[in-house]
Chain A
């Protein structure tokens, strides 16, 4: 009787043990079906085109014979008579933005007072640099930013794909066929272009932004020529086989003011483009992933690699520049992928492709090294230090490309030097290969002293990655970070499961268990032996 009864009780006990687990299991599997795909993309913020579609080819004024590109601009402005005022307030025109500094002053922050560790600075190099300015004729520091006709409307609005600015003519197109580095630039057909204008497409934006730093994908690492015809595998948003979104789908534009600011040139956390413009801020089916959004930016997991197609520049050492062969020709070397590894005008490079980002805390702010700021030559100089850390509630971990290099500086004045690189004159580095002369001209052009001594300083620059978002199944898995040698191994100041442990505690714990086990075994052995003796 008793055995039957106790068997039944044991059975009931074990069924009862299982019940909470079964309930817990169903609670969990239920939570996964709570969200639908629709809810994950909660907010749709696409701006609807408010301008009526017009056929520009019907306008008489666009049928005139255009002698200069400025004539096209004047024709545009004759109807779009407020557009020039809008343009003149933008950073695309000014190459600077008003920025409120830490002490409350407003500073125009831009290329005139910021440096990078690519081609360093615009001062004295304008004709080359401003081939990417949305204007005509910015050839030196005396460019007049108030003349409306110098706005280049068509570089952003051409829909024919035929309009090209010449690389070295201060933003001007050519007037007769001209060769540059093996490519022939033709004079634009202004009538055709002016009659075929429209909203900016990725081709317009990409004309400059794909090639920042002087070549394809050099600067950004996540925006490159391949975006012209990119697959969803590479960029889930812009993939032509998928969503096929234009730049302006996210970089929402009103009155020619385009949202989005790059950390290389902007300090304040404003007018940023964010994922949550369209996506919910906790969009995962898995609650645990949603908890991560508190500290981890979307990009961190969803951009597992960058420079997926073409290589991006990771390192640039100016100090080795200037080598020539005995025959007087400059030395040029390439790596196995065909990327430059040395160029006599620019020094040594390291390019990389399919790279894993580095990770830093970011709260959306950056503090920049300005021209004239003192440098500490014993340390690596960060040109745009990103703000934020673990203890800051507004900070998240973001993926960045870090561009490192060595660039010229003045060890006496302890300032970075803006060298005069481009020009056919007697001091430009790319003609004369004399850093001293180039430094003097360059520093003169921005009104800063040069001691006559130069050296090279290690610098680094942070380029947060926001493009080339992968498909969701390619997002980082847990162990990419939650592991002792994971991607976040260099981030300090906080404890992360899987990555961190206290080895003293672990050893103490393991010894405690093993010690107990050993004690148990010894105790049991003595019991067995003493029992046998008794018998």
Chain B
């Protein structure tokens, strides 16, 4: 089942685009220094590159924090499952219009290839770039205690990392067009919303909760002692009660009187014993001491195979035109 879902949180999008900008700007200024072309001027390029390096470092620290606090780091746990299928899809399936081999959900945003590549960037390429970059800035050879025979190795690794990142960006930008529509993925990274697969059970539960909370049918639940355990807003409205605390914990006998109460007691007894009851029209005793009519259902609540509670819905029929 597909549904427009808020998949990329605001920080995530901020982090993604900041990182993109940082990589682009670092590459531009870095390659100006490396290849001696003239864009910002050498001195400016150095200063901009350093400033961008610092900004990137701050961003990385925030991103690490975010990943651990939200548990989003789990999205990057590598897996080899379906890697072959994913590669196969990019090499063959995509041209035949075959379906994507993996399904994006809010708990599994990345396909197995993405997981591997992004994890590689996060724990290998970017840390190496940051460490070599700051070594470039502050490592004074040979005064420093670590021995590296100078900056050459550091410089070459840093240069290679830059090439690797640019290569990644080229492939990454292209692969964003392989979604359901070419611009879907980019739009999603801008707005946060994307049409993705969702879990039907999960979705049903959400909808049911909404139905109970916002619907016009009154809901109630009564435990084995006859105490009202839960009612919803619609129930309170029908009973003309504006304070839920007056209801919860009360015995159900407060809700009826006379023969209506006897019917209720009998019904509860039946349901608790495992029998079913038919829907019935009854009179209720409202909290302002007036009486109104409603129709009612009652079902058992099981825990470990035993009936321990009853619950059901009431629908007001007082204002219903009998004709």
Contacts and interface: CB of A to CB of B under 8 A. Distances in A.
Contact of B167 (A20, A497, A498, A512): A512
A520 interface: yes
Contacts of B47: 28, 288
Interface in A499-518: 500-502, 505-506, 508-510, 512-513, 516-517
B170 interface: yes
Contact of B191 (A6, A493, A526): A6
Interface stretch (B116-124, B155-163, B292-300): B155-163
Contact of A497 (B13, B21, B34, B170): B34
B237 to A, nearest CB: 27
B50 A513 contact: no
A12 B59 contact: no
A490 interface: no
Interface string B42-54: 1100110011101
B212 interface: no
* Most chain A beta carbons < 10 A, residue from B42, B151, B164, B177: B42
Interface of A: 2, 6, 9-10, 12-14, 16-17, 20-21, 23-25, 27-28, 286, 288, 291, 294-295, 390-393, 477-479, 482-484, 493-495, 497-498, 500-502, 505-506, 508-510, 512-513, 516-517, 519-520, 523-524, 526-527, 530-531, 534
Contact of A24 (B54, B94, B141): B54
A128 B274 CA distance: 132
Chief secondary structure at chain A's binding surface:
helix
A527 B94 contact: yes
A501 B152 CA distance: 9
B18 interface: yes
Interface string B122-163: 000000000000001010111100000011101110011011
B302 to A, nearest CB: 41
A9 B191 contact: yes
Interface residues on B, range: 35 or more
B89 interface: no
A513 B192 CA distance: 29
A505 B42 contact: no
A27 B143 CA distance: 28
A17 B14 contact: yes
Nearest to A22: B55
B203 interface: no
A527 B95 contact: yes
Nearest to A485: B36
B1 interface: no
B71 interface: no
Closest 6 CB pairs of A and B: A509-B163, A495-B152, A478-B42, A520-B174, A530-B95, A24-B51
Chief secondary structure at chain B's binding surface:
helix
Given A505-B156, A524-B174, A17 B193 contact: no
Given A20-B58, A20-B59, A500-B152, 14 more contacts: A6-B191, A24-B52, A291-B138, A479-B36, A493-B150, A495-B150, A495-B151, A495-B155, A498-B42, A501-B35, A501-B159, A506-B34, A527-B94, A527-B95
B205 interface: no
Interface of B: 10, 13-14, 17-18, 21, 33-36, 42-43, 46-47, 50-52, 54-55, 58-59, 90, 94-97, 136, 138, 140-143, 150-152, 154-156, 159-160, 162-164, 166-167, 170-171, 174, 177, 190-193
B143 to A, nearest CB: 5
20 contacts: A16-B14, A17-B21, A25-B51, A27-B51, A27-B54, A288-B46, A291-B140, A294-B143, A393-B143, A477-B43, A483-B36, A505-B160, A506-B159, A509-B160, A509-B164, A512-B163, A526-B95, A530-B96, A531-B97, A534-B97
Contact of A498 (B33, B164, B177): B33
A222 to B, nearest CB: 27
B191 A21 contact: no
A366 to B, nearest CB: 21
A513 B166 CA distance: 7
A508 B163 contact: yes
A24 B17 CA distance: 17
B155 A288 contact: no
A394 to B, nearest CB: 10
B19 to A, nearest CB: 10
Contacts of A512: 163-164, 167
Contacts of A392: 142
A527 B191 CA distance: 27
A141 to B, nearest CB: 46
A477 B46 CA distance: 13
B163 A513 contact: yes
Contacts of A294: 140, 143
A480 B222 CA distance: 88
B163 A510 contact: yes
Contacts of A500: 152, 155
Contacts of B164: 509, 512
A75 B282 CA distance: 140
Contacts of A494: 141, 150-152
Nearest to A510: B163
Given A13-B13, A512-B163, A523 B190 contact: no
Nearest to A529: B95
A508 B47 CA distance: 28
A516 B171 contact: yes
A497 B155 contact: yes
A505 B156 CA distance: 8
A20 B95 contact: no
A9 B192 contact: yes
Nearest to A533: B95
B174 A523 contact: yes
Given A477-B43, A509-B160, A13 B14 contact: yes
Contacts of A501: 34-35, 159
A498 B170 contact: no
* Most chain A beta carbons < 10 A, residue from B50, B95, B164: B95
Nearest to A25: B51
B36 A498 contact: yes
A479 B58 CA distance: 30
